[in-house]
Amino acid sequence: MSDASLPAPTRTYSYLGPRGTFTERALAQVPEAVGQTWRPVQNLGEALDDVISGRSDAAMIAIENSIDGGVSVAQDALATVPGLRVIGEYLVPVSFDLVARRGTKLENIRVLNAHPVAYAQSRELLDVRLPGHGHIPAASNVAAAADLLETGHADAAVAPPGITDHYDLEVLLSDIGSNKNAVTRFLLVSTTRVIPARTGADKTSLIAELPGNESGALLTMLEQFSARGVNMSMIESRPVGDEMGRYRFIIDAEGHILDERMAEALLGLRRSLARLTFLGSYPAADRSAITVDPRFSDTVFLDAREWLRDILGADSRP
């Protein structure tokens, strides 16, 4: 009996469910996830727990401008849960529809289910079209819709497009969000130690903790990047939580750890910070190649090392 007859071992991907969330859409962008097991979970903690425990091979989590869940919570989780690695980045355009049970008329809507963030982003139009409406906060965008068929406390819900593929509801108003360019950024996280290959359009994610709370320490940290021509696409501060005034920084830098300038910047950071966590190097979602100043190309770094080796000759450093 040949191995071919055995079912192929499948990989499992956790994501914030249920079906129809923006997180699920992000996961749909991952080629390797097609045809594998997708495991919907209730919240970020569960998703990360799946990965750490080995129940899942990877989890898709919202990390920035999230509407499915909190950015800060995800950032804090990456900073504090040991062993996580980011292996991919995905962008999902965010828009909202107003949905209701079949047959509902707009003029009869009194109360809305909506996730607070979705509600905030849709409020401008809702105040015009549904003056005097009430709002019941929902735990997620999909839950807002699903609840219409369960409790009936609300007459309509703010939900992601496509929700009607999963629930027997009707779209009353489309694209009701105020920011037409809204996008949520997702990360695919895993515990693998294998770093995705260098593509020339990569990002490196880091968690940096300063040695003290002086301005000088932050300046020194930033100089590690600028001195090697490494640009940051994101820097966010988060309180460490032990005492007021202590911060950690969540940083996305442009480039791959196998880029010489990035490797040197990481060495400099490691030497000068109280704590540095490497979260991963991975292809950037926008796939746009990074323009590297010729002064910081790999060649320049390799030439300098060659020059030093020549001088050291037999005395060379181990």
Binding site for a copy of itself (CB under 8 A): 64-65, 72, 137, 139, 179, 181, 183, 185, 193-195, 213-216, 218-219, 222-223, 225-227, 230-237, 239, 241, 243-245, 247, 257-258, 260, 263, 266-268, 270-272, 278, 295-296, 300-301, 303-305, 307-308, 311-313, 315, 317
* Nearest distance from C-beta of residue 298 to a copy of itself, angstroms: 10
Q: Measured from the CB of residue 212, what is the shortest distance to a copy of itself in angstroms? A: 10
CB 99 within 8 A of CB 171: yes
Q: Are residues 69 and 44 in contact, defined by beta-carbon separation less than 8 angstroms?
A: yes
In DSSP notation, 200-232 reads SSEEEEEEEE-SSSSHHHHHHHHHHHHTTTPPE
* Closest by Cα among 263, 236, 260 to 247: 236
Residue number with CB closer to a copy of itself (36 or 297): 297
Instruction: Give the pairing of strands 183-190 and 202-209.
Output: unpaired
Closest distance of CB 165 from a copy of itself, Å = 27
* Smallest gap from residue 255 Cβ to a copy of itself (A): 12
Task: Decide whether 23 or 33 has the Cβ nearer to a copy of itself.
Answer: 23
Residue nearer to a copy of itself on the CB measure, 11 or 135: 135
Q: What's 288's DSSP letter?
A: P
Are 62 and 69 in contact by the 8 Å Cβ rule? The answer is yes
Q: How far is the CB of 244 from a copy of itself (least distance, A)?
A: 6
How far apart CA 60 and CA 63 sit, in angstroms, is 9
Q: Which is nearer to a copy of itself, 24 or 64 (CB)?
A: 64
8 CB-contact burial (10 Å; exposed 0-12 / middle 13-18 / buried 19+)? exposed
Compare residues 100 and 122 and give the one whose CB is closer to a copy of itself: 122
CA gap 209, 221 in Å, rounded: 10
**58 vs 266, beta carbon nearer a copy of itself:** 266
Half-sphere exposure of 177 (CA within 13 A, CB side): 21
CB of 54 to a copy of itself, least distance (A): 20
Q: Provide the minimum distance between the beta carbon of 167 and a copy of itself in the complex, in angstroms, as a whole number.
A: 23
CA–CA separation, 262 and 60 (whole Å): 25
- Measured from the CB atom, the residue of 170 and 236 that comes closer to a copy of itself is 236
